A and B are shown apart, each in its own frame.
Chain A
């Protein structure tokens, strides 16, 4: 079995989600036994599967595994359906579509949050004491069962999380206590009564290692393809079992760490997205000979799907994939857009990014406002928003180093939208190699010049589209599988 490892299918992992969809599709297309394996707790995972078009049968989550809820009927209980709520003792007060309250003679007993996009399905229930402190928060899985409970310390810090199996028995505890610096952090996972034994783990890596060992213990053909290796490499190197392990890097955030991980004797091979990443690693170490696979393929249906030709895209809309932690590229694109607007007054820009907890979006909008570009420059960080922005654009820009992965280029290939990447972008070499564009300098003037040339020059647009048409031939699933086969064999 091939196991495609990933942190989660959550919305904050949209970039890798698209990569893994590519991987899942090609392995299934060639009848290879394959499962996506997710590590993080995500009670909305089944909803995400629906949104991503991934069958739940193709995914196994670590917490679901221990909770024995990998497969479970989907129910949609409202607060009125939950048997433990005494309607005789408490009054259920509705407050619009988002929440309800349980009250006892006016005193707030519990706040019932409703699942977004549902009619009354219970999302979580927070119980309060008479002083307004939260006693416990009961978290419901999208599939309609109580999946976990959160408890707080009196000072409001997280204290414990309990996870439950279908029968409501606790199977796992996470404890938050002091570290050496007296900061409250997650300090232990306590797995209970798993095959009649208890286990104690110091962190999620140890728990994940144990889980993987359990998952593959009867599978001597197990092959682990580790997406998110930045987070998951430690766990796979500590396995008791000996599967083949491939570390699949989309970005080289920390080349030295990549080399350290890749040279572990537990790692079968390292895979990067383009030849320049491979070259960069080889520069750092002659012991690392990474394979190169770009997670980019188009099915026959996608190859022959209808699209809106660039000539019919009437607005001068441009999409730019950027990374808001990269201040320089953000400032540069705003400056460039002032220059673009001098020539093309109706040119509009959508800045696309993956969600990143390090980014203060308020500060991002403040910068845009300060440049008086709020009516011209939009920001989206979700899959639907990105899809919508791309569907009307004439040009896709890749501005900062870690702004996108090769899968993002599929927007261009599906809709024949010209692309331009700055020299700093990791995608620039790939774009060059495929002959669909030449890198541009990272300064505002060059970016503006490149955008103006493309938007104003129909023959330039036609040429760009033609190169894309040509390159599409390299994106068949066969091509893509051959790349994987070469590495896996």
Chain B
């Protein structure tokens, strides 16, 4: 079994989650067992699977595992199902607080309970319990499938003191404590797994807990277990410290160095520093491009294989779809699909659009992606400021995150990418697979592999947005060139066909089977 380890599968997904989804689809198509393993507690995890093609069989959360809640039939739990203290029941006043989405319950004018519901439903999300002096002392969180999955206990000063993760039968599966550390800072101080196969276990950190969970998965797996670290900062320690026999893979989803364009000398990307400094604890490395594999091999000289497995897979359905000529798309439409954060450097793209607009009056840019909240939304604020300074309010639109990009790709003519670094960039691959022409900085890794200069777009020097602007002008003033590059884009996507990608995975699986059976 292959296990792809991550922190969660949220509604707003990053490239790593999208890569995992495509990978699972590929493995399911080839009937090779694989699962996404998530580390963090999420009462809506299974509900949110409806935004993906995943089923409960395709994903395993570590808390669900200990809670015996990997597969639970959903049932409706409404506020009427929540027990009101029987000694209060005659004199209870119930209020709906619409802006908070909860009901309040009073007895003798004192609040004793609040029942929150999931938005636009009557399904209970949480129950807040108050003592008889109206202190909030406990909140029960309901899993979206209709059972209390977490009890959260509070301190008198309203901080979380202790949490209990419950099984659907109400028994305690995991306890989590919050105490002062040695510098008197409140921190997660312990995890206790309770009555797991009849035993209790203590762990200092969530990484230790995840290590235990992964070891248990490996121990019970009749096949060779392959663990892929997809979110290094979350899972690399746990995988590296596993005790059960398994094949461990470090997946580099991004540049391994801080300066992606100085791979031999730049400091290491903190996400991968631990993993790369412990290569003897891994069995293999995955990179998404050959260029990155070469750079890693040159600098680290690993004694383990590096598999080049593009994280993007272009489905056969897309490869065979009807091609949409440029004349049927929105003239002058440039798109970017990226979260608005510093490393994406979207202000450069805006500037390029501003310059190109002087020659191409109908050029427009739509940016799809969520806004990074870091430093009080510094980067989104910066991008908006540049839009305003250049008077591009009617030209550049921030469209937010969307799950449905197909119509966007089908109407766009050019995809712009101005990042400082990349690990692959799935969106760019998706764009070219739908015939969108790529205009990208010469950025490691992914964009300068996906875009082939003069074939399906252009590669311009890092930071040279003037050149990118010139390319926009050249493309939009030359419909034949635009169509030629679009045709090239459609063709170049075939490199990422399911069969091609699957072949690279087969190599890794064969290596795993050989190495583990050799041991």
Interface residues of A (CB under 8 A from B): 83-86, 89, 104, 109-110, 127, 129-131, 133, 135-136, 151, 153-155, 157, 159-160, 168-169, 175, 177-180, 182, 184, 187-188, 190, 197-202, 210
Q: Do B175 and A136 have beta carbons less than 8 Å apart?
A: yes
In the bound complex, CA of A129 to CA of B135 (Å): 27
- Interface flag for B262 (CB, 8 Å): no
- Excluding A159-B161, A177-B133, A198-B83, 4 further A-B contacts by CB distance (< 8 Å) are A85-B200, A151-B153, A168-B171, A200-B87
Q: Do B129 and A190 have beta carbons less than 8 Å apart?
A: yes
Q: Do A133 and B199 have beta carbons less than 8 Å apart?
A: no
- Interface flag for B496 (CB, 8 Å): no
Minimum CB–CB distance from A302 to chain B (whole Å) comes to: 46
Q: Do A135 and B161 have beta carbons less than 8 Å apart?
A: no
In the bound complex, CA of A190 to CA of B132 (Å): 10
Interface residues of B (CB under 8 A from A): 83-88, 112, 129, 131-133, 135, 137-138, 153, 155-156, 159, 161-162, 170-171, 175, 177-182, 186, 189-190, 192, 194-195, 198-202, 204
In the bound complex, CA of A322 to CA of B85 (Å): 47
Given A153-B155, A154-B161, A169-B170, are A84 and B83 neighbors across the interface (CB < 8 Å)? no
Q: Which residue of B lies closest to A190 (CB)?
A: B129
Greatest chain A CB density within 10 A among B112, B138, B179, B192 is at B179
Cβ contacts under 8 Å, B199 to chain A: 83-86, 89
Which residue in A135, A180, A187, A197 is a CB contact (below 8 Å) of B131? Answer: A187
Q: Do A154 and B153 have beta carbons less than 8 Å apart?
A: no
Cβ contacts under 8 Å, B87 to chain A: 199-201, 210
Cβ contacts under 8 Å, B180 to chain A: 131, 133, 154
Minimum CB–CB distance from B157 to chain A (whole Å) comes to: 8
Cβ contacts under 8 Å, B85 to chain A: 197-200
- Please report the number of residue pairs spanning A and B whose Cβ atoms sit closer than 8 angstroms: 117
Q: Do A131 and B189 have beta carbons less than 8 Å apart?
A: yes
Given A84-B198, A109-B202, A135-B192, are A198 and B133 neighbors across the interface (CB < 8 Å)? no
In the bound complex, CA of A169 to CA of B169 (Å): 10
Q: Do B182 and A178 have beta carbons less than 8 Å apart?
A: no
Greatest chain A CB density within 10 A among B87, B170, B178, B182 is at B87
In the bound complex, CA of A183 to CA of B181 (Å): 24
Minimum CB–CB distance from A230 to chain B (whole Å) comes to: 23
In the bound complex, CA of A104 to CA of B192 (Å): 14
In the bound complex, CA of A133 to CA of B182 (Å): 10
In the bound complex, CA of A364 to CA of B112 (Å): 47
In the bound complex, CA of A89 to CA of B131 (Å): 39
Q: Do B131 and A130 have beta carbons less than 8 Å apart?
A: no
Minimum CB–CB distance from A167 to chain B (whole Å) comes to: 9
Minimum CB–CB distance from A9 to chain B (whole Å) comes to: 28
Q: Which residue of B lies closest to A192 (CB)?
A: B83
Q: Do B179 and A159 have beta carbons less than 8 Å apart?
A: no
In the bound complex, CA of A175 to CA of B194 (Å): 22
Minimum CB–CB distance from A134 to chain B (whole Å) comes to: 9
Cβ contacts under 8 Å, A175 to chain B: 131, 135, 137-138
Subset of 27 A-B contacts with CB under 8 Å: A84-B194, A84-B198, A89-B199, A127-B202, A129-B204, A130-B190, A131-B181, A133-B180, A135-B162, A135-B189, A151-B161, A154-B155, A154-B161, A154-B178, A155-B155, A159-B162, A175-B137, A177-B156, A178-B133, A178-B135, A180-B133, A187-B133, A187-B135, A197-B83, A199-B86, A200-B87, A200-B88
Q: Which residue of B lies closest to A90 (CB)?
A: B202
Given A129-B179, A130-B204, A153-B161, are A202 and B132 neighbors across the interface (CB < 8 Å)? yes
